[in-house]
Amino acid sequence: MPNPPIVIDVPFRVRYAETDAQQIVHHSSYVIYFEEARSEYIRQRGISYAEMEKVGYFMVVTDITIRYHQAARYDNLLMVRVWIEEQRSRSITFGYEVLNAETSEKLATGTSKHLFVNHDGSVVKIPETWHNWIS
């Protein structure tokens, strides 16, 4: 992991379908924002996750943590900041911060940990090509 880590900012406009009867963004939606933010991170670092699956590597999620600070609402413009929190030979942990893009208010923070598996579902080392762009 570089020091400081590379941080990618990914904007999201809150969708109506992501809200709930409390008139705020449903807490499960952040899991999806995290996922798309790390997809964009990977895309910007030179290899798309779609390509990765095509060559037989799959990232599976082993842990999710989210702390919710403030609610977001329909039509809000959010900024999700994503970086690599920790990297090991067989796992990778992403860190996230969700901000209101207009007020810079912090809405949520979290992490997701992943293993790499092959087509058989066996855990494998992180592929070399990935190793390069990560470091």
Q: Give catalytic residues, as residue numbers.
A: 20
Question: Which residue blocks in 45-92 are alpha helix, DSSP H?
Answer: 49-54
Interface with a second copy (CB under 8 A): 13, 15-17, 19-24, 26-28, 31-32, 35-36, 39, 48-50, 53, 58, 60-68, 71, 73-75
Backbone dihedral region for residue 23 (phi beyond 0: left; psi -120 to 50: alpha; all else: beta): left
Q: How far apart are CA 38 and CA 44, in angstroms?
A: 10
Token pair, residue 45, equals 């670092």
Which residue, 6 or 77, is less far from a second copy as judged by CB? 77
Q: How far is the CB of 78 from a second copy (least distance, A)?
A: 14
Q: How far is the CB of 43 from a second copy (least distance, A)?
A: 8
Q: How far is the CB of 51 from a second copy (least distance, A)?
A: 9
CB 14 within 8 A of CB 93: no
Which residue, 62 or 89, is less far from a second copy as judged by CB? 62
